[in-house]
Structure 1
C-alpha cells in the first residue's frame, strides 16, 4: 500500500512539473520571441538584426490591431535608431507612438517614450527641451519607482544630468548624480550606467577647472566599459579622452585615442559618429603635419556611405 501511495505521489509530482501547453496563437508567440531575440541582438550591438526582428514583430502586432504590442516594438525600434544616430527614423517611430498613444492602456510605457523623446532632443542639441521633458517625467514618476536602484529612475537622472551639462547651468548636474553615487561606490550600477555616470562626473569636473580629476574619471569609465565589453561606452570614453587631450594641446595623444575608437565605431552602425571621429582625426593630422596619416583618413572618409545611407 505504501509503495502504491508513493507511486501515485510521484506521478502527481511529475504531472505538476509538466508545463501547460501555450495555447496562444503561434504568430503571437513568434512575435514575442522576435522581440526577445531583437533585444539580445541589440545588447550584442547587432543593430541591423535587432531592427529587422523588431520590424517583424511590429508587422505582426499591426496585423492583429494590438496597440500595446505595436508600442513595445516601436519603442525598441526608436532605441535602435538612436543607437546608430538615425534621427530621421527615430522621429518616425516616435511620431507613430504619438499617434498610437490614445489607444494605449495605462502601463509603464509612457516614461520610456518620454525618455526617448528627451534623448532625441539631446542628440539634436535641444538641451533646454530635454531638461523640460525629463523634469516632467521625474515629477510624474510613481513614488515606488523613485529609488536609486530602479533602472528607469537611474536613466532619467543620468539624462537630466547630461542635459544640465549641455545647457547654461552645468552645476545642475551634480544634484542629479548625487543619489546614484552610493550605488556606484558599491559597484551596484549596471556597467553601462556606471560608465555614463563617470563620464558625466568628468564633464562636471572639467567645467569646474579640475582637468586631472576629470581625466581620472574618464579612465575609470573606459576601464568599466572595456570590462563589460560595451562598445558604445568604450567609444564614448575614448572620444571624451581624445577631446580632453586635444583641448590641452596634446594632439598626438588625441589622435592615438581616436585611432583606437575607430575600430569600435566601425563595428557599430553609427556612421555619423564614425564620420565625426574621422573628420576630427583629419584635422588633427593636418595640425601635426602628418601627410601620410591625413591621406589615409581621407581615403577612409571617401569609402563611407553617403550620410544617412547606412540604416539598420
Structure 2
C-alpha cells in the first residue's frame, strides 16, 4: 500500500480559504483545522495512530457545529488512515458515516474522493469487477482539462489499472498505463503515485512474459521510494520484487527481499501485510530447509495480535 497524496490535498483545500482573518473565527474551528493539519503531518510520517486520534478530534468538533463539509474531510482522512493499516472494519464504518452525509455535500470533489475510497476497499476485498464499474463512473466525471489530468484523475486511473490487472484484462491495463505514463515525467506528480505507476507497469510486463522488464521497472520504483523515504511504497515494491523472484524460481532471493520488507511493515503497523509476509517466509524457509530461520519467523508470528490491535511486534534479529 502507498500513502495517498489526496489526504494532503484535502487539507490544503480546507486551509486555503482560512488564512486571511484567523483571529475573527471561533477558536474551536481554528483548533479543528490545526488538528487536521497535524493529522496530515502524522500520516505523512507514517504515524497512523496519532493521525487517527487527531482526525477524530477534528471530527468531534465539526459534528458539534453540524458542519457537513468539515465532517466529510475528517472522515475521508480517517478512512485513508484505516486503509493504510488495513483496518477494513473501520473503513466501512467511516464510509457508512460519509454515505449519511453525502446528500448534504452535493456534487463536489469530495463525492469523487469518497467514491475512490469505496473502490479501494472493493479492490482490497477482492471485488475488481465492481471496483472497475465504480471507477469508470468516477473517471467519466473527472475528465482532465487540456490534457493535464489532476491528482484525483491520476489516482482514479491508477486504481482502474489495478482493477484491470486483477481481472487479467491486459489490453485495458495497457491503455490505462499509456494515459498514466506522462505523469511519470512531471515533477508535480507525488513520488508515491509515480512509484505506483511504475509498479503497475511492472505487473503488466510480468503478465506479458517479460520478467526482465518487470525487474527494471520495480527497481526504478524502489529507487524512487527510497529517495522519498516512502515506507508504504518501499514495502510494496520489495514484496512485488519477491513475487517476481518466486516466478523466476529464486526462493532465496525472494526470502531476502521479504526480510527487508518486515521492519518496514512493522513500523507501519500493517498487521495484515506483516502476517502475510511472515507466513510467506515460513513457507520459503521450509522450502529452503532452513529450520533456524523458520523458528525465528514463527516466533515473530506468535507475537502478532490476533485481531490487529496495532501493537508493533519485536522482530527477532536475522542471523548473518
With normalisation by structure 1, the TM-score equals 0.90
Distance 1:134 1:292 in 2: 46
Say whether residues 1:177 and 2:177 are aligned partners: yes
Say whether residues 1:297 and 2:297 are aligned partners: yes
Say whether residues 1:36 and 2:31 are aligned partners: no
Match of 2:212 in 1: 212
Match of 2:154 in 1: 154
Match of 1:194 in 2: 194
Please give the root-mean-square deviation of Cα atoms over the aligned residues, in Å: 1.6
Max Rg structure: 1
Maintained 8 Å contact 2:22/2:30: no
Maintained 8 Å contact 1:202/1:217: yes
Which deviates further from its counterpart, 49-58 or 98-107?
98-107
SS where residue 310 of structure 1 aligns? Answer: coil
Greater than 6 Å deviation, 4+ residue runs: none
Aligned-pair CA distance for 1:106:
3.5
Distance 1:20 1:111 in 2: 30
Deviation string, structure 1 residues 207-245 (Cα, Å, up to 9, x no partner): 111110011111111010000000000000000001111
Match of 1:261 in 2: 261
Aligned-pair CA distance for 1:183:
3.2
Corresponding residue pairs, total: 293
Name the CA shift for 1:247/1:69 in 2 (closer, same or farther; >3 Å). same
Aligned-pair CA distance for 1:143:
5.3
Question: Structure 2 regions of 5+ residues with no counterpart?
Answer: 1-19, 313-320
Q: Which structure 2 residues correspond to residues 213-228 of structure 1 after superposition, within 5 A? A: 213-228=213-228
Maintained 8 Å contact 1:148/1:179: no
Distance 2:143 2:208 in 1: 34
Deviation string, structure 1 residues 254-283 (Cα, Å, up to 9, x no partner): 000000000111110111000000000000
Match of 2:166 in 1: 166
Maintained 8 Å contact 2:36/2:58: yes
Which deviates further from its counterpart, 80-89 or 170-179?
170-179
With normalisation by structure 2, the TM-score equals 0.88
Maintained 8 Å contact 1:86/1:311: no
Distance 2:21 2:166 in 1: 53
